[in-house]
Amino acid sequence: MSQSQDSLHNDPSDGPDAAHQRGEGISDETVTALGKFSEALEVVEHARGLLYGFHRLTGKADLALGEAAELLREAGHGAMARDVEERLVGRNVIKGRWTFQIVEDYDDGYYAEFKTLEKQAREELGDGKRHLFEAEMKEDRRTQGRRHHEALPEDVQQ
């Protein structure tokens, strides 16, 4: 009986690359803690993306609002156009700040400190390796030797 391409095969080198294997003496608890830290960083990265989206959408709205004011003026509604321009166009979104200033404060403060501390934790506790928890989860969940369950892409195989 022949086996299909999806069949199992044995390959002794089938496993994560060295960059995703825990070093000597790194405990399960440490890998779990670093994994949770990495998860938190991913949430912060997502939040940062949303903040940049907020920045871009708010800017786009302000430009469209400026066009709306012009169109109101052209349609004979000068008083309304003036109100829109004076009350909203170019207005700060929070006291003293446009969205670019919010993004800069976030990037230079909270985000920078988060990235620095996450990297420090990885370097001090996990030999500088990223995604140890996820690499071990992949090994636990995949079917070794099965097509589409490879540890690494073919061009990176050990």
User: In the chain, what is the straight-line distance between the N-terminal and C-terminal CA atoms, in Å?
Assistant: 31
**pLDDT tens across 125-136, in order?**
999 999 999 999
- Structure tokens, 100: 């670019």
pLDDT score of 158 more than 90: no
The stretch 62-71 carries a mean pLDDT of 98
**pLDDT tens across 83-111, in order?**
999 999 999 999 999 999 999 999 999 99
Backbone angles phi, psi at 149, to 5 degrees: -125, 20
**Segment holding 106, helix H or strand E:** helix 99-106
State the Cα–Cα distance between residues 51 and 34, nearest whole angstrom: 25
Instruction: Give domain limits for the chain.
Output: 27-122
